[in-house]
Amino acid sequence: MIAENVRQLLQELPREVQLVAAAKSRSVAEIEQAISAGILIVGENYVQEAELAHGLIGAKVKWHFIGRLQKNKAKKAVKIFDLIETLDSLALAEELEKAAGAQNKVMPALIEINCAGEVQKGGVTPQEAEGLIKAIALLKHIKVMGLMTMGPLSATPEQYRPYFRETKKLFDALKRQGLTNVEMRFLSMGMSDSYRVAIEEGANIVRIGSKIFGPRESNN
Ligand SMILES: *Cc1c(COP(=O)(O)O)cnc(C)c1O
């Protein structure tokens, strides 16, 4: 079941689009099944869950952090993850900078954009993005590699489209600026119900959970 879902997705996705298996609340055995079928990147929302899975699975796949990162978890996150997709404040960036410096590592990160202006969600507004990126670009052990967005919770895939389009516009504008120590390479948008629209609007990373692993029991 999981293996078949992965194969179908890999067949469907354009070659230049990277598939992240969003693994929150899934067992290590389920994640292993997905990897056997061709998953190369695992997305984790919780550092503690990721520590367990990473400890057993290791570096045969890449690990992306896609949840809300607490500052006191920065050290562990820097150790485990290949990309932090949800960087959204200078305070968090400074914490990651400290941890990455101590570990002699440059931590790649995406800036999370809250394009619908939902106050309860993470991310910065499109207007705040440039200022934050310029400030983070001064930190030597963090490398901004692009943008990520969730989009608002929507009833239909089409309702995501304007938010994805706006985030792509911002991505292109930032890319044109050619900011020092910033590389606008990755645009992470789209989940199980919205990845097709996201790819049409320019995503090159999609984060997919339930379409790989089946419906989640709780709604976290
Ligand atoms: C859970 C989650 C996903 C995947 O959601 P599905 O609807 O299960 O595909 C993608 N991105 C983030 C940030 C998530 O938390």
Q: What is the pLDDT of residues 53-66, one digit of tens each?
A: 999 999 999 999 99
Which pLDDT tens digit goes with each residue over 200-212?
999 999 999 999 9
User: Does the predicted model carry a pTM greater than 0.85?
Assistant: yes
Cβ-contact 203, 157 below 8 angstroms: no
Q: 98: CA distance to ligand 1 center in Å?
A: 29
Q: 215: CA distance to ligand 1 center in Å?
A: 11
Picking from 99-108, 124-133, 147-156, 169-178, which range would have the lowest pLDDT averaged per residue? 147-156
Cβ-contact 16, 204 below 8 angstroms: yes
Query: What's the average model confidence in pLDDT over 116-140?
Result: 92
The mean predicted confidence, pLDDT, of the chain is: 96
> How far is residue 147's CA from residue 149's CA, in Å, rounded to a whole number?
7
Residue 8 pLDDT exceeds 80: yes
Helix H or strand E segment including 201: none
The residue with tokens 């645009």 is 187
Which of the four pLDDT bands, split at 50, 70 and 90, describes residue 44?
A: very high
Question: In a mutational test of the pocket of ligand 1, which residue from 86, 191, 208 has the highest number of ligand atoms less than 8 Å from its CB?
Answer: 191
Q: 76: CA distance to ligand 1 center in Å?
A: 22
- Alpha-carbon 49 to chain mean position: 16
Exposure class string for 191-203: b at 16+ Cβ within 10 A, else e: bbebbebbbebeb
> How far is residue 203's CA from residue 13's CA, in Å, rounded to a whole number?
11
Q: 220: CA distance to ligand 1 center in Å?
A: 9
Residue 218 pLDDT exceeds 70: no
Of ligand 1's atoms, which has the minimum distance to the CA of residue 148?
13
Cβ-contact 37, 9 below 8 angstroms: no
| Residues 51/98/70/204 CA torsion (nearest 10 deg) | -70
Both tokens of residue 137?
């670009």
- Ligand 1 pocket (Cβ < 6 Å) reads 22, 24, 45, 66, 150, 191-192, 207-211
